[in-house]
Amino acid sequence: MSKVYTLFCTDVIHEGHLNIIENAKKLGDLTVGVLSDDAMIRYNRFPTLSLQGRIDLVKGIEGVSEVIVQKSVMYDEIFETLRPDYVVHGDNWDDAAMNVIKANILKNIEKYGGELIEIPYTYNANVSKIDEKMQEKLALADFRRARLRKVLAMRDVVKIMQVHSGLTGLIVEKTVIADEDNIDQFDGMWLSSLCDSTDRGKPDIELVDMTSRLRTVGEVLDVTTKPIIIDGDTGGLIEHFVYNVRTLERLGVSAVIIEDKTGLKKNSLFGTEVEQTQDTVENFCRKISAGKAVQRSDDFMIIARCESLILEKGIEDALARCRAYVEAGADGIMIHSRKKDPKEIFDFCDEFRKTDKTTPIVVVPTAFNEVTTEELASHGINIIIYANQLLRAAYPAMTRVAESILRNHRSAEIEDDIIPFKDIIRIIDEL
């Protein structure tokens, strides 16, 4: 009997899937693959059902002989191990990621034999409605808040990108790269104090206070579903911090990172060029514990950011502080450095991991920008925040445009560098 294979990466079975099964089972013995969590979040939507839940969903369908887990969106392992005679797939090859997958299936067919059977994709109001329901669930506060912890459990390393507005939120939400053998996207968003302040023409000194920052949070929440980590600066007074924890948690923000500085906070990238005061371990621990004590869900994370390396106090000081912060209840630690050479970060992480294997470590590789995700992960780092690159990209681009128009008395010369006006009106979907 012929071996037939089809892959599902869905949380709901609708008539389109049943149509695929109906057609596939006619060709022979049908194995259905369920895409793993890790592969699903790289390529598609975040799963609202656990892997086991998705397996059970498919197992119940008549005509399915076997259900297996497909670990990657690419089919190489499936062809190597299963050698299907037929791969059945919907004909919805309508974006770059889908085209990369199709090319991968055809490459494997050329190597191992077999045939790709394309089934017309079911487009109707019912299917669209299910799609919208899923999207709605992803955007709800409870689901979104919990998503950072979920993604931490699913991926070796979580990649977070800076946002400072609804538009930058949409860029991080929707950007997917699809090269040969690699489909990927960001796991969440960083609401940077530097970028939120700079975008408003203000210095990064906690002048843009939490009430104003919440406006940006609201704009981003409104148009995205990915988890948000907010830069909480110093967290302010303990008496104020507890209220902000409650608010952030209720809105669906996943984590706040607060740094162990006090008084007039300046941006860390100034290092010791400006006066900055580190908080006492005792006071900062009190702040962490107070925040943990008021939060209502188990999902919200308070991450403690240590500035010892920024203030050139050495690794031993950083280690002692971070261990104390974890003891006080921090759900993660962030270790920051402004050195180009990542050695002090690596030394810190290697040492920290000797006694603490589980507390998530966060880094912001703005200065040590040549280090790859994989290399950071190999030192036990779990969350990487690309903290300011979208804003830094926008500034020179906008300045160039302003200069060009002044110089040329018209905008024609800069047109090729900017998005055509016929496209800008279409980048935002209407309801």
Q: Which residues contact 431 (CB under 8 A, 6 or more apart)?
A: none
Residues 385-404 touching ligand SPV, rule: CB under 6 A, are 387-388
Distances from the Cα of 412 to the Cα of 398, 400, 409, 422, angstroms: 15, 13, 9, 15
Q: Considering only 90-98, 135-143, 225-233, 292-300, which stretch makes contact with Mg ion by CB under 5 A?
A: 225-233
In a 3-state reduction of DSSP, which class is residue 381? coil
Minimum Å gap between C-beta 330 and ligand SPV is: 17
| Residue carrying the six token digits 């669906």 | 252
Q: Considering only 100-108, 186-194, 248-256, 372-380, which stretch makes contact with ligand SPV by CB under 6 A?
A: 186-194
Distances from the Cα of 418 to the Cα of 12, 37, 424, angstroms: 40, 37, 10
Q: Cβ–Cβ contacts within 10 Å for residue 431, how many?
A: 2
Select the binding partner of residue 70 from ligand SPV, Mg ion, none (C-beta < 5 to 8 A, by kind): none
Instruction: Map residues 338-367 to x or -, x wherever contact with ligand SPV holds by CB under 6 A.
Output: --------------------------x-x-
Q: Using an 8 Å Cβ cutoff, are 223 and 203 in contact? A: no
Select the binding partner of residue 268 from ligand SPV, Mg ion, none (C-beta < 5 to 8 A, by kind): ligand SPV
Q: Using an 8 Å Cβ cutoff, are 160 and 53 in contact? A: no
Q: How far apart are CA 142 and CA 140, in angstroms?
A: 6
Q: How far apart are CA 195 and CA 204, in angstroms?
A: 8
Q: Which of 252, 336, 325 is nearest to 291 (CA)?
A: 325
Residue 70 is a binding residue for ligand SPV (CB under 6 A): no
Select the binding partner of residue 388 from ligand SPV, Mg ion, none (C-beta < 5 to 8 A, by kind): ligand SPV
Which of 173, 187, 206, 231 lies at the binding interface for Mg ion (CB under 5 A)?
Answer: 231
76 annotated active-site: no
Minimum Å gap between C-beta 76 and Mg ion is: 42
DSSP letter at 46? P
Nearer to Mg ion, 119 or 383 (CB): 383
Q: Which of 303, 118, 283, 147 is nearest to 225 (CA)?
A: 147
Residues 193-232 touching ligand SPV, rule: CB under 6 A, are 193-194, 204, 231
Residue 307 is a binding residue for ligand SPV (CB under 6 A): no
Q: How far apart are CA 197 and CA 200, in angstroms?
A: 5
Q: Using an 8 Å Cβ cutoff, are 47 and 82 in contact? A: no
Name the residue whose CB lies closest to ligand SPV.
192
Residue 193 is a binding residue for Mg ion (CB under 5 A): yes
Residues 112-171 touching ligand SPV, rule: CB under 6 A, are none
DSSP letter at 225? -
Residues 251-290 touching ligand SPV, rule: CB under 6 A, are 267-269
Which of 31, 36, 104, 192 lies at the binding interface for ligand SPV (CB under 6 A)?
Answer: 192
Minimum Å gap between C-beta 243 and ligand SPV is: 21
When computed from its CA atoms, the radius of gyration of the chain, rounded to whole angstroms, is 24
Q: How far apart are CA 18 and CA 127, in angstroms?
A: 12
Active-site residue, from 204, 233, 279, 299: 204
Nearer to ligand SPV, 108 or 192 (CB): 192
Q: Considering only 20-28, 97-105, 170-178, 190-198, which stretch makes contact with Mg ion by CB under 5 A?
A: 190-198
Residues in contact with Mg ion by CB under 5 A are 193-194, 231
Residues in contact with ligand SPV by CB under 6 A are 192-194, 204, 231, 267-269, 364, 366, 387-388
Q: Which residues are catalytic?
A: 204
